[in-house]
């Protein structure tokens, strides 16, 4: 394998790692807003890492230019889509998760007796 192929392999491997982290975050986080954050951020990073790997392996400038155009389109469309979904989730009245430390049961303040 050439050095170019090794760099592309590193980019593709990081894409798999970021995608896996986003998948774990989408199952572990408690509310839809946190899940959208994990999925959007890790998903975008994973896709960009895959595009970087494709850009490294592009055989000529025409294909590299197409990959760059797709990257720009994805850079605009992915955050916009996440924003629209989050906005309509908020408008539908989906509650935000409140951590246990802020509930009355686990607060550090003592109850008056």
pLDDT one-digit tens code per residue, 25-80: 889 988 888 888 888 888 899 999 999 999 999 999 999 999 999 999 998 998 89
84-105 residue pLDDT tens: 998 998 899 888 887 755 555 5
- Entry pTM: 0.75
- ∠ Cα 99 107 89 (to 5°): 20
Q: Are 34 and 97 in contact (CB under 8 A)?
A: yes
* DSSP state, residue 95: P
């Amino acid at each position: 394998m050439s050095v170019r192929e090794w760099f592309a392999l590193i980019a593709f491997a990081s894409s798999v790692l970021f995608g896996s982290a986003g998948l774990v975050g989408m199952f572990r986080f408690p509310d839809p807003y946190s899940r959208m954050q994990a999925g959007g951020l890790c998903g975008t990073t994973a896709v960009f890492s895959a595009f970087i790997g494709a850009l490294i392996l592009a055989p000529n400038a025409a294909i590299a230019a197409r990959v760059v155009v797709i990257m720009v389109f994805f850079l605009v469309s992915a955050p916009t889509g996440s924003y629209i979904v989050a906005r309509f989730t908020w408008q539908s009245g989906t509650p935000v998760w409140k951590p246990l430390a802020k509930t009355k049961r686990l607060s550090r303040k003592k109850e008056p007796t």
